[in-house]
Amino acid sequence: MGVALAGVVFVAAANPDFEITELRRSDKESVHRVRIWTQEAPHYHASHDSVVTLVQGGGTLYLNGAGHPLKVGDRIEIPRKVPHYYVHQSTEPFSEALVVFTPPYDGKDRIPVQVPHRQVLKFKSATEQGQILSPGEKA
């Protein structure tokens, strides 16, 4: 990841399933568009707090081990040093969120963590939410 400038897209080379685009920045905060096609790797930010507002898609944000289902319009705060990751579970192609970081995010403060594997929600169709399956279980 490189220097953060307005309009710069950060894509984690090890995980092409998400992208982060900076939309604007001040001396106190930065605003980013985050798109996730499958899921993020679990991580935390050592020196950044964030506020996430989901604007497209839907899924579950795992925050310090607890799952928080998110739908469009939902907003959640993520304090610094709290492990988290998002799993896209919508029939939309990806989930998109606006994320405000304080202080401004530099693209470097992303520390990977190990967390237990979580259950995955499978959709049978666009109108039916389906069932929760354990890893390896078939629909």
Q: What is the pLDDT of residue 116?
A: 59
Q: Give a yes or no: residue 96 inside a domain.
A: yes
DSSP label at 41? P
Averaged pLDDT, groups of 10, the chain, 139 residues long: 45 65 96 95 95 97 93 96 95 96 93 68 44 45
Q: What is the pLDDT of residue 84?
A: 94
Cα 124–chain centre separation: 23
Question: Rounded to an integer, what distance in angstroms lies between the CA atom of residue 47 and that of residue 56?
Answer: 27
Least Cα distance to 63 among 78, 75, 53 occurs for: 78
CATH number of domain containing 49: 2.60.120.10
**Residue 1 in domain:** no
Residue 4 in any domain: the answer is no
Is residue 138 in some structural domain? no
Q: Which residues form the domain of 15?
A: 9-133
Q: Judge whether 75 lies within some domain.
A: yes
Q: Would residue 61 count as lying in a domain?
A: yes
- Rounded to 5°, angle at Cα 19 from 17 and 24: 165
32, part of any domain: yes
Give the count of beta carbons closer than 10 Å to the beta carbon of residue 45: 20
Entry pTM: 0.73
pLDDT attached to residue 87: 95
Name the domain count of the chain.
Answer: 1
Supply the pLDDT for residue 107: 86
